[in-house]
Amino acid sequence: MTPDDFEFVADLLKERSGLVLTRDKSYLIENRLMPVLRRRRLKGLGDLIGYLRDGEESLAREVVEAMMSGETTFFRDWKPFEHFRTVTLPNILKARKDKESFRILCCGVSTGQEAYSLALLLREAGDALAAWDPQIVGIDIADGAITRAQKGVYSQFEAQSGLPVRMLISSFEKVGDSQWRIKDVLKAGLEFKRWNLTEELYPLGAFDVVLCRNVLTFFDQETKIQVLGRISRLLTDDGALYLGLDETTVGISNNFRAVVPEIGVFGVDRPDRPVSQSLAVGAWHGSSQSNAKESA
């Protein structure tokens, strides 16, 4: 690939998704675009980039999607979910008891495991949420990932990655020899949409909790500032934000304060509503992964 071609693809990715690709990652272009070349029966990257330069819109979308890392698992990193279950959810049950509803947004939800993990935790809350109307919205730029999330069908390997066996048995049904489909009851109140985080998010409405985990890491500082700005405008004054374990709002946004930064938990912090009142604040004992899994 010529330096010019690399710059062209890197600019296209940055402009359309916020994804930053440095020169040392140029091998990713070659690896991830191979399936696109095969699907489109193109001879090589030169041809593909030629069509992109001619402004082929559907190809540009396919390329952006192919370049995304959609890596995810059920209950990825576990502790943030344990924090949600033991701190944020009980706070929500108190703070929202008058309206008996709340909304959670998963940004960069990939193939849906993150949103279904939350749905599984809400189901486990049982009677405490019986009369409630919780909503979970999952968004991602990748069409293919969103279609898979909507179907809620996972391979044996995906189902085994992070999902306690007890939950697999109770909330999924086997499809054929090697796939598992999440039961319809878990899909109630759940919605997946294609949405680009580089665009405005306010049409999605307000949210009490936002997860944006392992997404900011792909963006440069300017895009992180914009995305966290949009997220802060969506969140309620007492909202909770979950980022990936090595992601932070520090140095990027003044609208949040760290609550349990080592597991990516932040709270909205506004002049008239300090972080101490965030839904994410409460006694957190940081149970170990193995203990948490055993109790699940």
Ligand X SMILES: C[S@@+](CC[C@H](N)C(=O)[O-])C[C@H]1O[C@@H](n2cnc3c(N)ncnc32)[C@H](O)[C@@H]1O
Q: Binders of ligand X: how many residues, by CB under 6 A?
A: 24
Q: In whole angstroms, give the CA distance from residue 111 to residue 145.
A: 5
76 is an interface residue for ligand X by CB under 6 A: yes
Q: How far is the CB of 240 from ligand X (least distance, A)?
A: 16
Nearer to ligand X, 81 or 218 (CB): 218
User: Which residue type, as a one-letter code, is found at position 96?
Assistant: R
Please measure the distance between the N-terminal and C-terminal CA atoms of the chain and give it in whole angstroms.
49
203 is an interface residue for ligand X by CB under 6 A: no
Q: In whole angstroms, give the CA distance from residue 32 to residue 144.
A: 15
Q: How far is the CB of 281 from ligand X (least distance, A)?
A: 23
Tokens for 181?
């489909």
Q: In whole angstroms, give the CA distance from residue 12 to residue 52.
A: 9
DSSP run (H or E) holding 236: strand 235-243
The set of long-range contacts for 160-169, using a CB threshold of 8 Å and a minimum separation of 24, is 161/73, 161/74, 162/73, 162/74, 162/75, 162/76, 162/78, 162/113, 162/117, 163/74, 163/75, 164/75, 164/293, 164/296, 166/296, 167/120, 167/296
141 is an interface residue for ligand X by CB under 6 A: yes
Per CB under 6 A, contacts with ligand X among 9-68 are: 17-19, 68
Q: How far is the CB of 66 from ligand X (least distance, A)?
A: 10
Q: How far is the CB of 274 from ligand X (least distance, A)?
A: 28
Nearer to ligand X, 65 or 208 (CB): 65
Judged by CB under 6 A, which stretch of 134-142, 170-178, 180-188, 262-270 contacts ligand X?
A: 134-142
Nearest position to ligand X, beta carbon: 108
Nearer to ligand X, 96 or 213 (CB): 213
One of 70, 144, 164, 189 touching ligand X (CB under 6 A): 70
Q: How far is the CB of 206 from ligand X (least distance, A)?
A: 19
Please spell the DSSP secondary structure of 92-112, one letter per residue.
Answer: HHHHTTTTTEEEEEEET-TTT
Residues that bind ligand X (CB under 6 A): 17-19, 68-72, 76, 108-110, 114, 140-142, 145, 196-198, 213-215, 218
